[in-house]
Amino acid sequence: MEPKVSKAVILAAGAGSRVQPFTSYMPKTMLPYGSYPILYHQVDIAYNAGIRDVVIVSREDDEKTVLGYKNDPKIKGIFQVQNDYINGHLKGEFAKKGVKVEIVYQSNNAETGKPRGPGDAVISAERYIGKDNYAVILGDLILEPKEKGEKSLLENILSRFDGENDIVSSSVLDMDSAREGGMIRGEYCGNGLIKIMEIRQKPRKEEDKEFIDGCRTPDGKYRATWSGIYILNKYSIGYLKTATPRKDRNEIDIEDGLMMQCLDENRKTEAYAFDYKGADGTRYIERNFGSVGEWLSHNVEEKTIVRFVESLKRQPEGFQKEVAEELAKRYPDRDWSILGKNG
């Protein structure tokens, strides 16, 4: 039987300004997590979930990423590092496992000089998506099963996808207080799923009080979206293409297209969120790589530290030295002198 979802789009077009100075050497999705770049882990997660077609949305270097690049003069900028890795390593490595890896490039917005957000990144992959259902994976967030042998979050969400009319959108997290990111109003309907009634990005406490109150769970917490993974159907990209960019950021969010699709009475689409905290008992460890502190903290754990240090030795000497200095500041009780000595 053909799988309901056989393709994945991995979003890797962010430079990672909050992970400077290390993203002067490579984009944040190329930063090592244990033995491999974060991007490698994301492709591997898709592979282990049964997906055999992966398209990575990267971008080409612009003036800013060229001028800020610190390393090899033969390389134009940080995104050439990533694009060369995808074309020269990932494609071959995963071809041996039966996975086809493609790369597309998200264009910068003419006004801002920056990409137009995750929704626009998905649109960039349209010709590879075709008429198929697909997973969308944010490149800088991994949710790992806490217990060995448990399904990955992607596998868990895929198992709940209807394949035709339903969108299983991302995952949700119960918070003790309303948050600045996305929040969700919905109803629990069993099997770890919440039927989405409304999603809003960055609701305002006063103007959106009624909506925020509607996001409360029976025990008084708030449901917040944690948009690491989306499963979208073949119609979703059409709604993204007609979504209006956010005025404050001039970006298209995936949630905008999703809600347009759900509100279209002609399509009758229902959207669900998966409670990743585990209505079915599964728990996940959050690996967010959006800041220097988060990236390093995941790498100095007992299970990753040895592999992380070994992978750092394969990095440029300047990168090693800057990482060693940052590690010494944050973890002064350890000896990092082995780094920055030409591996």
Asked whether the predicted pLDDT for residue 154 surpasses 50, the reply is: yes
The contacts of residue 324 (CB under 8 Å, 6+ apart) are: 336, 337, 339, 340
278 pLDDT tier (thresholds 50, 70, 90): low
Q: Is 273 exposed, middle or buried (0-12, 13-18, 19+ CB in 10 A)?
A: buried
What pLDDT is recorded for position 178? 61
Provide the sign of the torsion angle of the four alpha carbons 101, 115, 252, 156, taken in this order: positive
CA distances from 252 to 12, 172, 215 (A): 16, 20, 23
Q: Report the distance separating Cα 311 and Cα 291, nearest Å.
A: 19
Q: pLDDT tens-digit profile of 20-62?
A: 999 999 999 999 999 999 999 999 999 999 999 999 999 999 8
Encoded tokens for 150:
């448990």
Q: Is the pLDDT of residue 321 over 80?
A: yes
Instruction: Tell whether the model's pLDDT for residue 285 goes beyond 90.
Output: no
Rounded Cα distance, 40 and 139, in Å: 10
Nearest alpha carbon to residue 51 among 105, 104, 94: 94
Average pLDDT, the chain: 85
Tokens of residue 69, six digits: 């690049």
Digit-coded pLDDT (tens) for 162-190: 776 677 766 666 666 666 667 778 888 77
Neighbouring C-beta atoms of residue 289, cutoff 10 Å: 23
CB 225 within 8 A of CB 199: yes
Please list, in sequence order, all residues whose beta carbon lies within 8 angstroms of the beta carbon of residue 132, skipping any fewer than 6 positions away.
Answer: 5, 6, 7, 234
* pLDDT at residue 282 is higher than 60: no
| Tens of pLDDT, residues 115-129 | 888 999 999 999 999
The topology (CATH level 3) of 148-281 is Spore Coat Polysaccharide Biosynthesis Protein SpsA; Chain A (3.90.550)
> What tokens were used for 187?
């109803």
What is the phi/psi pair of residue 276, to 5°? Answer: -70, -15
How confident is residue 148, by pLDDT bands cut at 50, 70 and 90? confident
Contact 54, 42 (CB under 8 A): no
Q: Report whether 270 contacts 165 (CB < 8 A).
A: yes
pTM of the model: 0.90
What is the mean predicted confidence (pLDDT) over 3-11? Answer: 91
pLDDT confidence of residue 342: 47
CA atoms within 13 A on the CB side of 113: 5
Task: Give yes or no for residue 275 having a pLDDT over 80.
Answer: no
Closest CA to 287 of 29, 86, 54: 29
Query: In the predicted model, what is the mean pLDDT of residues 247-271?
Result: 82
Main-chain dihedrals φ then ψ at residue 294, nearest 5 degrees: -65, -45
Sequence letter at residue 125: A
Task: Report helix, strand or coil for 44.
Answer: helix
CA atoms of 125 and 105, how far apart (whole Å):
8
Question: Helix and strand tally (H, E) in the chain?
Answer: 13, 14
Q: How far apart are CA 282 and CA 156, in angstroms?
A: 9
What Cα–Cα distance (Å) separates residue 193 from each residue in 68, 156, 202? 44, 11, 23
Cα separations in angstroms, 236 against 75, 185, 249? 37, 20, 22
Is 74 a residue whose pLDDT tops 70? yes
What's the average model confidence in pLDDT over 267-277?
78
Residues 63-84 have a mean pLDDT of: 89
CA-based nearest residue to 324, from 40, 41, 21:
21
Instruction: Specify the pairing of strand 53-58 against strand 100-105.
Output: parallel
pLDDT above 70: percentage of residues in the chain: 88
